[in-house]
Structure 1
Amino acid sequence: MSSKIALDDLNIDILCHILLIVHDVSKHSLLSMICANRTLYDITLPIFHRSCVMDYSPDLQRDTIARMESWLENGSKMLSFIRHITVKGIPPYWRLRRDESIQAPDTTKWTSLVQVLSRLSHLASFTFAYSEQMPLVLLDALHHHHPSSHLHIRNWTRISPDTPFGDPAEDALANSPCLRSLHGHFITGTGPVADFRFSAFDRIAKLSPNLEAISRTSRSAGGCVMYVRPMDQMYAQNTERKKFEVDAPLRKCIKSLQMDHIDGKALKELSSYMQLDQLTSLTNIRPSSSSDFLCLAGTDSAYHLPALKQLDVRLLTKSHGLDQIEEMVDAFCIFLASCGPLESLSIVLKTSQSWKPILSVILDHHSHSLRTLSLHQVESSKGDSMRICLTLDQLTDICGSCPQLTNLALDIDRTLEGKSECAYYTVLCQFTNLRELTIHMDLGIAFLASPSKEQQEGDRRTKLAFYPEADENFAMEVWKEVSKRGDGEFAGLRELVLCLGEQNRQIRNGYPAPWVIDEQSRRQWARVRKSERDDRPREVDVNIRGGRPRTRLRV
C-alpha cells in the first residue's frame, strides 16, 4: 500500500534547485507557484525576487523610483531576497550624436537606488545597461556595501566623445575590483568633433584588475558627408589621445573577447594585458585585409589560442584581387588548425569563395567537438560573383563527421522549380541530434542590381514572381520537409529560422543603391518553434517578422 508524500516532506534544497531552473527559463511561471499554497509561497517568493530590473526609461523612471521608495519606507522583506540588479534605459545610439549638446547627467535620480544598495545584504551582481556613464555614486555604493559583487557594464559611454583625459568616473571604473565585463558599441562618422572613446575604453580594459569579458564594436553612421580636420587640429587630438596610453597594463584572465576590427598590432596589444592561452570565446572578429592577425595567431606560439571554444569570424576583405582573398583563406585555415577543439564556429565568407579548403580543416580538427556550426556567404548584387553554397556531398560529410552537432546554419539558394531545395532538406533530415536550424535564402537581388537589358529584366520579373514570401504556409512547408525522417517519424528539431535576404548587411557612406533599398524592404525573417507545452507536442509557433500576427499551427 503506497503512502502519500506531503509537499512538506520533500527536500527543500532539491525543490529550490528546481525552482531556480524554472526561474532561469520562465520567471513568470513562478507566479503560479506562489499562488499554489503556503509552502510553495514561502519557498518561491525569495527566488522570484532574486533578480530585479530597474527601468530608468523616461516613461518608467518615476514608477521605478516610487517602487524602490515604497520598499524603503515599508521595510519590505524582499530586499533580503535580491541577488542580482539590472539598471536599463534608452539604448545609447538614440543619443550618442556628436552634433548634440551633451549636458551633465542628473545624479539625483540615483538616490533611491543608492539607499536600496545600502540595505541589501547578499548582492551578487550589478548590471548597468543605462544610456549614461556609470555614475560615481553607484560605483561608490557598490565598493562600500558590496565589494565582492560583480559589475557588468553594458553600452559603456562617456559624458561626450571628446571629453579629455582625466575623467574621475572613468578612473574609478578602471580601478574598480568589481568590474567583470565591459561592453561598448560606438557609432562613428557623425561629426567633426574629436573622438577619444576607443582610447578611453582601452585604458579601462588595461587597468581593470578583475575584468573577464570585453566587447568593443563599432559601426559607421553612414551618410554622404565626410569630415576633414585641419593638420593642427589632428596634431592636438593625437597629443591628447596619447595621454590615455597605459605604461604598465595589469595582466588578467579574459575569457571572452568581442572586437570587430582586429589586426596583428591589436593582437600584440591585447597580449600585453591578456593571457591569450585562457581565452575561450572570440566573437564578431573581422581580420584586416593584410591577414597579419591570422598569420600571427596561427604560426607564432606566443599568440596561439589553445583554450578557444567559441569562434565567430567574418572573412570579408575589401580587396577584389583573387590572390589576396586566397591568401586570407589560407591564413585562416592555418589559424583554424592551430586552435583547440572548438564547440561553436561561425564563419561569414566573402561571396563566391569555395568552402572546400575551410571545410576540410573543420572536419579534420573540430568535427568531434562541434555543437554549433554556421557557414554563410553574403548574397551578392553582381551576377558574375554569386555566393557559393555547400554542396550536397559537403553537407553529407558534415552530417557523418559531426555527431554532436545540435545547431546548424547554412545557405540554400532558391530555384524556380524548388528541386534543389528539396534535395538539401532530405540531407538535413539525416542530422540525428540537430535541434536548431537556420537557413539563409536568397532574394535574387542580382536580378535587381542591373535591370537595364530586356533579358535581364525578364529574368528578374520571372524569378521574383515565383519566389514566395515567408508567410505561415511557406514556413510550415519548409518545417515539414526538414523535421521528418525517412521512416515518417519526426526528427528532434525544435526550431527552424528562415532568413530571406541579408539581415545585417553593412551599409557604407553615401546614398544606398536601389537594390539595397529594395532588399531592405523585401527581406524577411521567419521562425518555426515547437511548443514548449508537454500536452501539445505537435503544435508549433510560427513567427514572421514584419508586423504579422503570431499564429499557432499543428504539425
Structure 2
Amino acid sequence: MDAVKPTLHNLPPETLQQIASHLDGSHRPSLYAFGLTSTICHHATLPSIFHDIYLPVRSREALQRDGDTLIKTLSRSDSMCHVRSLSIKGSFKMSSKPRTEGYKSGGKDRHSKIEADADEVLGDDRELHLDGPHVVYDESVIEKSSDEDLAWGSVVRFVKTLPHLSKLVYDCWNQFPPSLLDALHDHQPQCKLYHFTFRFRTLLWGTPYPYEMALATSPCLYSVKVESCWRDSAGDDDFNQEAAMELAAGLSPNLKEIVVMDIEAENCRRYWPRKRETWRGLPGYVPGRSLGSLTSLSLPRVRSALQPGMLQAWAEHTDFSLLRNLSLGRRDEGITVDMMEWMVQNCSFPRVETLRLHLSRDKFDVEQSNYAITAIALLDTFGSLEQLSLSGPLEPEILDAILNQHGHTLQNLSLLPSEPEGISGIYQGQLRIPMTFTQEHILKINAYCPKLQQLSVSVKRTKSNALEVATYKSFGKLKQLKSLFITLDCSDWWLSRDPDLRDDAALEAAAREISIRRESALVDKGYVQDTLRNCAVDETLARSIWDTICENKEGQKLESLKLWTTGGGKWGRHFGVGNISQVIDNLSRSWRVAREDEDIINVRELNRKVREARDLELTKLYERRAEHLRDNLLYHEAKEDVDIELQDIAEALEEVQVFRCVWPRKKGSKDWREDWSSLPLQG
C-alpha cells in the first residue's frame, strides 16, 4: 500500500505556524503568499502578521481613524491575541502655534532636521548628536483629559483590548499621553515601555511637574532616549542627563536601557560665560542609597570640558558590571587615554556583549607612546564580545589584541580608523596616518573570527589597482560572512604627513601646476586628479566589487554589501579644498548591493535624494552666474540678446578644468556631471 503523502492540510497548526514564522523572518512577501493557499494556512500566518504593529502618526484626525481601523481589523480576524509589540512614531500639532515658547529661531526645527537628514549610510548613528533650536521648557506639560490627551482615544482603546502586549515603542515628538500611561498601568502592567523621545521639561521648577515624575517612575518604563544639552537656546541649564542618572539609580524601578541624545543647542554659546546652576536632584532620590542595574548605556559625549567627570558620575549611579551593551564617545569626541586608564583601574565589564567605542589620542602637541597599550588594557577589561564597533586612532597592535581576546566569539565587527587632522604647530611627535586594511589584515580577521557574520572596515581606494582588488577578494574567505560594510577611503594623508612615500613619477608631468592655495598649503593638480579618480564610484564599480567578492566567496553566500565613499579632499591637514569639493561630492557616491529573492542582485544608490538636491543647488548657482554675466554684457556692450549656456559657465571654472584632465567632454554633453565613469577593477 502506497504511503500517503503529507500535504499542508495534514500538518498540525503548530507546524504551519513555524513555517509562517520562518517565512516572516526570511522573506515577508512569501508569508502573504503562503496565507493565500488555504484557510488553514491563512490562520497560521496571523500570529506572524500581527505580532508587530506599526502605527504612524501624521495628524490628529488620522490618528483617530487609524486606531479605530486597527480595532476593527484585528477584531474581525480575532487577532488581538497575536499582538506582542506596538510601535508609534511621528507627531501631530494641535494648533498652528509654535511648540517652542519664548525663543524664536531662524533655522529649521530640530525634529524636522532629523527627518530631513536621515542618512541611509550611517543610519541612527547621526541621531546621537543633534543641533538646532532646543528649549527645555518648550511647552506646558500635557494634562490628563486635555484636547491633546483625548486625541489618543482610539489608540488607548486599542491598547486596552490587547491581552498579550509586551512591548510599546513610543517615538513621537508629542508628549506621552496620560491616558495611555493609565491604560498601561491598568491593563498592560507587564508591558515594557520604550520611550524614545523622553525628557523632563520642568526640572528648573524645583519640583518637577507630577505627571512627569509619574511617567519617569512608571514600573512600565524600560528604555529611554534622553534629550540633553549643557544649556539650551533660551539660556536655561538642562539637567536631563543628571535626572536620567537618578532614575537609573533606582527611582525608575524597571529602567534598564538609556541612550543620551546629545544636543548642541542653537544660540547656547552666548550663555557659556555664566556659571551653571546647581542640580538639586529629583524628589525622592537619596545619593548613595542604591546603585542601578542598567543593562544598556549609550553616552556620545563623555569628555566635555563643560561637564567633566560625566562617565565617573554614571559609574556612581549604575553598576557597570551588569551592563550588556555599552556605547561611549562619538566620531568627533572619543574617550581619551586618561579616561581609558580610569576605566581600567576602576571599572569591570564582565557581561558586556555589545561594545561601541570611539577613541581619541586627545593631546595633539605631545607624543603619546602609551596610547595603544592603554587601549589594549581597556579592551581586556571586557569579557568575550559578540559585537564590537571601534573607531578613532587604530594601530596594528590594537587589532591583534581584539582578535586574540574577542575573535573567537565575535559575530559583528566594525573598525573605522581615523586620526586628527588639526595638529598643533609645536607638535614634535610622529604625524600619524590612519590605519588602512589590506588583504593581510582581512585574512587575519578570517583566521581569528570563525563566527563573524557582519563586518565593517575601511579599504583604501588606489585607483582600482591589483592591490585594491586583492583586498576585495580576501573578503570571500570569511565563510560565515553575510553582511559587509566597506568604507571606501579616498583620503591621501601621505601628501602632508609622509610625502616621500608618494610615487611622484606616476603623476602626469603636465599636471604639476598648483591647483589649490588655501591657508599657505599647496596641493598639486596631479594629486587632485588622483583624488577624483578614487572618489568616482558608479553603479558599474559597485557591481564589480560585489562580483569580485562573491566569485571568491566560501561558505555562506553574501547577502548584502554597503559601500560608503568618503575622505576625498582630506590630505592630512586642514588644507581646505575650495570648490573642488563640488566635484568630489558628485563623484563620491555610496551604494547598497543586496541579494534578493531567487538570487536577484539589486543595486541602489544611497542618499540619492540628498545628492540630487545638492546637484540642483549647484545648477542654480550656475544659472545665477550666467544671469549675472548676461546682465553685464548687455549693460557694457549694449547688445540686445546674449546667449550664455550653463555648460559654458561650468567649463570655465577651475575645478571643472581639473575634472576635464581626467574625463574629457563627451560628444553632445551639456553637463560635466554626466561625463565621468569609474576606473574598472584590474586583474
Cα deviation 1:417-438 (Å, max 9, x = unaligned): 6232123123333223322222
Shift of 1:277: 2.4
Q: Work out the CA distance in 2 between the residues paired with 1:27 and 1:429.
A: 28
Is contact 2:538-2:589 (8 Å) kept? no
Measure how far apart 1:445 and its partner are.
6.9
Q: Which residue of 1 aligns with 2:401?
A: 361
Residue of structure 2 in register with 1:474 after alignment: 541
Q: Is contact 2:259-2:299 (8 Å) kept?
A: yes
Paired residue for 2:189? 147
Could you tell me which residue of structure 2 aligns to residue 261 of structure 1?
301
Query: How big is the shift at 1:495?
Result: 1.9
Given that residues 389 and 414 in structure 2 are in contact (C-alpha distance below 8 angstroms), is that contact kept between their aligned partners in structure 1? Answer: yes
Q: List aligned pairs for 1:499-538, cutoff 5 A.
A: 499-501=564-566, 514=578, 518=582, 523-531=588-596, 533=597, 536-537=598-599
Distance 1:273 1:196 in 2: 15
Q: Secondary structure at the match of 1:528?
A: strand
Q: Is the 8 A contact 1:436 1:496 kept in 2?
A: yes
Q: Which has the higher mean CA deviation after the structures are superposed, 366-375 or 477-486? A: 477-486
Q: Separation in 1 of the partners of 2:397 and 2:420?
A: 21
Q: Pick one of 373, 396, 399 that aligns with 2:443.
A: 396
Q: Does 1:544 pair with 2:605? A: yes
Task: Confirm or deny: 8 A CA contact 1:249 1:273 kept in the other structure.
Answer: no
Identical aligned residues as a percent: 21
Q: Distance in 2 between matches of 1:98 and 1:455?
A: 41
CA distance in 2, matches of 1:381, 1:169: 48
- Distance of 1:175 and 1:190 partners within structure 2: 25
Matches within 5 A, 1:54-453: 54-58=55-59, 61-70=60-69, 76=76, 77-90=78-91, 93-94=111-112, 97-98=133-134, 102=139, 105=142, 106-159=148-201, 165-186=207-228, 191-194=233-236, 195-206=238-249, 207-220=251-264, 226-228=269-271, 231=274, 234=275, 237-238=277-278, 246-247=286-287, 250-262=290-302, 265-285=309-329, 290-300=336-346, 303-324=347-368, 326-350=369-393, 355-378=395-418, 386-416=433-463, 418-444=465-491, 451-452=516-517
The whole-number CA distance in structure 1 between the counterparts of 2:414 and 2:69 is: 49
Residue identity in the other structure for 2:594 = R
User: Do the aligned residues in 1 keep the contact of 2:483 with 2:558 (CA within 8 Å)?
Assistant: yes
Classify 1:228/1:513 alpha carbon distance in 2 versus 1 (closer, same or farther; 3 Å): farther
Please report how far the alpha carbon of residue 348 of structure 1 lies from its aligned counterpart in structure 2 after TM superposition: 0.6
The secondary structure found in structure 2 opposite 1:274 is coil
Partner Cα separation in structure 1 for residue 203 and residue 541 of structure 2: 47
- TM-fit CA distance, 1:3: 0.8
Q: Whole-Å Cα distance in 1 between the matches of residues 206 and 587 of structure 2?
A: 45
1:443-489 Cα deviation digits (max 9, x unpaired):
34769999218972312432134235322101011112222229xx7
Code of the aligned partner of 1:64:
L
Letter of the 1:484 counterpart: E
| Counterparts of 1:92 and 1:130, CA distance in 2 | 14
TM-score relative to the length of structure 1: 0.82
- Aligned partners of 1:284 and 1:160: how far apart in 2? 28
Q: Deviations over 1:231-270 (max 9, x none)?
A: 4xx46x3255687965256544322221113369444433
CA-to-aligned-CA distance 1:267-321 (integer Å, 9 cap, x gap) = 4433444333222211244586553442233234xx2111222211111344313
Change (3 A) 1:514 1:289: farther
Quote the Cα distance in structure 2 between the aligned partners of 1:184 and 1:502: 32
The alignment partner of 2:152 has SS state of: helix
**Counterpart Cα distance in 2 of 1:266 and 1:122:** 39
What residue identity is the alignment partner of 1:483? C
Determine the structure 1 residue equivalent to 2:551.
484
Q: Which of 408-417 and 438-447 deviates more? A: 438-447
Q: Distance in 2 between matches of 1:298 and 1:379?
A: 23
Offset of residue 218 of structure 1: 1.2
Secondary structure of residue in 2 paired with 1:316: coil
Report the more deviating stretch, 417-426 or 162-171.
Answer: 162-171
Structure 1 residue 219 displacement after superposition: 4.3
For the pair shown, the structure with the greater C-alpha radius of gyration is 2
Question: What displacement does 1:524 show?
Answer: 2.8
SS of match in other structure, 1:193: coil
Deviation for aligned residue 1:357: 2.0
Supply the AA of the counterpart residue of 1:525. Answer: S
Structure 1: any 5+ residue segments left out of the alignment?
506-511, 550-555
Instruction: Give the total of aligned pairs.
Output: 524
Asked whether the 8 Å contact 1:98–1:193 carries over to 2, the reply is no
> Secondary structure at 2:608's aligned position in 1?
coil
2:524 is matched with 457
- Please provide the CA RMSD for this pair: 3.7
Question: In 2, Cα distance between the equivalents of 1:124 and 1:253?
Answer: 21
CA distance in 2, matches of 1:117, 1:522: 49
| One-letter amino acid matched to 2:68 | E
**Which amino acid is the alignment partner of residue 501 of structure 1?**
T
Closer, same or farther: CA 270–417 of 1 in aligned 2, 3 Å? closer
Aligned ranges 1:8-19 → 2 under 5 Å: 8-19=9-20
